[in-house]
Amino acid sequence: MPSDDDPPVELEARLADQETFEPSAEFVSQANVSDPAIYDEFEQNWPECWERAADLLSWDQEYDTVLDDGDEPFYEWFTGGELNASANCLDRHVEEGRGDELAIQWEGELGDTREFTYEELLGEVEEFAAVLRELGVAEDDVVTLYLPMIPELPIAMLACARIGAPHSVVFAGFSADALATRMNAADSDHLVTCDGYYRRGDALDHKEKADEGLESVDGDTTTVVVDRLGDELEHSLGENQYDYDELLAEQEGASVDPVSRDAEDMLFLMYTSGTTGEPKGVKHTTGGYLSYAAWTSHAVLDVEPDDTYWCAADIGWITGHSYIVYGPLALGTTSVMYEGTPDYPEKDRLWELVEDYGVDIFYTAPTAIRAFMKWGQDYPKEHDLSSLRLLGTVGEPINPRAWKWYYTHVGGEECPIVDTWWQTETGGMMITTLPGIGTMKPGSAGPPLPGIDARIVDSGGDEVEAGDAGYLTVDNPWPGMLRTLYNNDERFLEEYWREYSDPDADEWVYFPEDGAKIDSDGYITILGRVDDVINVSGHRLGTMEIESAIVGTEGVAEAAVVGGDHDLKGEAVYAYVIVEDDYEGSDDLRERIVEGVEEAIGPIARPEEVVFTPELPKTRSGKIMRRLLEDLASGNDLGDTSTLRNPDVVDDIAAQVGDD
Ligand code: WT7
């Protein structure tokens, strides 16, 4: 740790010019992966190299084929193999005599704690699996889980996996409408939710939101309600609604054998935002996804069974699926779960948890690091963080200053940092340094992982020169990739494969819709989304979804939503709104617009600013100039506006942005 005599400014200055960092010899000597030959091994032995990932799992039936590419781009992995995800995350550790080791270390926002050993977790999962069966959940039925960060969420996920029922987790911060849209899209008749949870010390009513959503769900839903808040919040059960504890008590001691699933059977669905208004149901499978989550947890996060590992994300997003639940539990480590916000009751809450539990590995998002930075170094300094050996970030680009702050004030200049690029669709990490091998370059994620063939190309698909910006593409498939969009193969092809593939030549190229640049040493710097998706605090929001919520507000004629730079959130939502003739751009309308967005999506999509304008800047051909609106929101230079049909409107808008 830096000594107290080091004034912060000098410390920054000392590191300001340092462009590369090396992992310590101590870290390298204990790392799960430390031989650089792994890159060549994977390349020369592709796709069989992926057996290394599959070998981290226990299979009921060995697979025949590593990769079946008979129907590109509908790739299949480890075909012929059979396994169960919950057995891999629980039973085998218990069978190996590790049943009394901690699987989940949970802490509530108010400081209440719950711990589950592998044996205890297995018991709960079996009981809840029996509950689900009793309620009529059959193999392949989609069960929706609308739960906050409480242990019942991973328990329900693993119980679903045990009986072969795919789960679809809906982030608890999403609105009632968002829940209904996702349940309808997945034809899901089963819901697990709860009465409420704590946020900044307040008891939030979650059941009310779930009930409101259920009103718009087609068909009959069976609902299980977890009682998180006890007497703190009264709730009643309606028709077809059951109390979690009561159902569990009826199944006390139940044993439910894990169902053998085909490697390619669906493990879960995860809805994510895309360019159009409808969220995309990303389908992940049992063998490929689980082996990839386990492999990347092993190789990148350096997870070992005796670690206390903490990914401070929400399980409602893919990060939590892969790196709170499936990856770490498959490897038999202790995964820490925290219910609340990082600044409650004080801004040192996370560091207190690191110290109390002796966390070894800590994985979070740049937006959180920027907040820590703003709060100041005294908060981490108050705690003993010497248990940490590795740090990670995910979700958005991290600027070098935030990287160095994290490295210094959290990692004590001793922990390597992995800046991991990936997506809901990729299932797991794709571009990052391996912590026991790679030189770190703050701001640049690093080279593609072994076996991942990422390239930066121009709009024609040709690789760009080192240093130039282009589009990120991935040439080879990998086990953790999405298999399709649920019930929508056509959109799957359209969204990810149309742009750069050449089907006639049998060349299939995955397009993640990110811009990037590559250095001469092969390090990739991610520049951000190139589609109409905004990345707010590491969370993906579709501009179309927000626009349609705004246009649904009475008095609004037209709206354009863009992302603008934001110090803490990375990007924030800016809404440009044209009002109907009989209405005025009033504070009241502004409030109704914000409420409308919160109702349609959730508070995370709340516009930072709502700017009323008589017109939107349009090209002569009538297209909205989104780039210009983004520059206005970010306070950037506007450059040439002469191609606009209505250049005056720009000054008008510029005068308003940042005014209130
Ligand atoms: C988008 C995916 C991966 C889990 C969290 C988000 C951006 C992700 C990084 C990174 C720069 C990043 C990309 C990507 N992104 N990680 N390390 N550096 N950008 O998952 O909601 O599917 O969003 O997040 O733009 O496409 P997601």
Cα of 527 from ligand 1 centre, angstroms: 11
Average pLDDT of the residues of the chain: 94
* Cβ-contact 317, 395 below 8 angstroms: no
Cα of 90 from ligand 1 centre, angstroms: 29
State the greatest distance between any 2 C-alpha atoms of the chain, in Å, as a whole number.
73
- Ligand 1 atom with least separation from CA of 429: 3
Residue type, 30: Q
Closest C-alpha to 374, from 546, 566, 531: 566
Protein residues with CB under 6 Å of any ligand 1 atom: 272, 318-319, 394-397, 419-424, 445, 512, 514, 526, 528-529, 535, 538, 540
- Ligand 1 atom with least separation from CA of 398: 18
User: Model confidence over 140-171: pLDDT tens digits?
Assistant: 999 999 999 999 999 999 999 999 999 999 99
Cα of 7 from ligand 1 centre, angstroms: 34
Angle between helices 207-214 and 176-185 (to 10 degrees): 50
Residue type, 225: V
Residue type, 179: L
Name the residue of 394, 419, 527 whose CB sits within 8 Å of the most ligand 1 atoms, as the mutation to test its pocket.
394
Closest C-alpha to 209, from 189, 233, 231, 188: 233
Residue type, 123: G
Give the H or E element holding residue 527: strand 524-529
Residue 434's φ and ψ, nearest 5 degrees, are -90, 125
User: Model confidence over 72-110: pLDDT tens digits?
Assistant: 999 999 999 999 999 999 999 999 999 999 999 999 999
Closest C-alpha to 643, from 608, 617, 612: 617
Closest C-alpha to 303, from 22, 576, 638, 31: 31
Give the H or E element holding residue 153: helix 152-163
Nearest Cα residue to atom 8 of ligand 1:
395
Q: Cβ contacts of residue 611 below 8 Å, gap of 6+? A: 574, 575, 576, 577, 653, 656, 657
pLDDT at 375 over 50: yes
pLDDT at 571 over 80: yes
- Residue 642: what pLDDT? 77
Closest C-alpha to 569, from 594, 590, 540: 540
Going by pLDDT thresholds of 50, 70 and 90, the confidence category of residue 116 is very high
Reported in sequence order, the residue ranges of 484-618 that DSSP labels E, i.e. its strands, are 514-518, 524-529, 533-536, 539-542, 556-566, 570-579, 609-612
Closest C-alpha to 453, from 55, 33, 48, 42: 42
Cα 581 to chain center, whole Å?
Answer: 41
CA distance 586 to 610: 10
Residue with tokens 């800590």: 362
pLDDT at 46 over 90: yes
Cα of 475 from ligand 1 centre, angstroms: 19
**Residues 578-589, mean pLDDT to the nearest whole number:** 94
- Ligand 1 atom with least separation from CA of 318: 4
- Residue 6: what pLDDT? 42
Cα of 119 from ligand 1 centre, angstroms: 34
The number of CA neighbours under 13 Å toward the Cβ of 302 is: 28
- Judged by phi (left if over 0) then psi (alpha if -120 to 50, else beta), residue 541 lies in beta
pLDDT at 17 over 90: no
pLDDT at 3 over 80: no
- Residue 658: what pLDDT? 64
Cα of 248 from ligand 1 centre, angstroms: 37
Supply the pTM of this predicted model: 0.95
Nearest Cα residue to atom 12 of ligand 1:
396
Residue type, 630: E
CA distance 117 to 100: 5
- Ligand 1 atom with least separation from CA of 529: 25
DSSP at 502:
B
User: Model confidence over 171-184: pLDDT tens digits?
Assistant: 999 999 999 999 99
**Residues 552-576, mean pLDDT to the nearest whole number:** 94
Least confident piece of the model among 16-20, 189-193, 253-257, 569-573? 16-20
User: Model confidence over 391-429: pLDDT tens digits?
Assistant: 999 999 999 999 999 999 999 999 999 999 999 999 999
- Residue 643: what pLDDT? 77
DSSP at 298:
H
**Residues 312-319, mean pLDDT to the nearest whole number:** 97
- Residue 636: what pLDDT? 87
User: Model confidence over 527-546: pLDDT tens digits?
Assistant: 999 988 999 998 999 999 99
Give the H or E element holding residue 119: helix 118-134
Name the residue of 280, 301, 321, 396 whose CB sits within 8 Å of the most ligand 1 atoms, as the mutation to test its pocket.
396
CA distance 595 to 205: 17
**Residues 51-66, mean pLDDT to the nearest whole number:** 98
User: Model confidence over 599-611: pLDDT tens digits?
Assistant: 999 999 999 999 9
**Residues 208-229, mean pLDDT to the nearest whole number:** 97
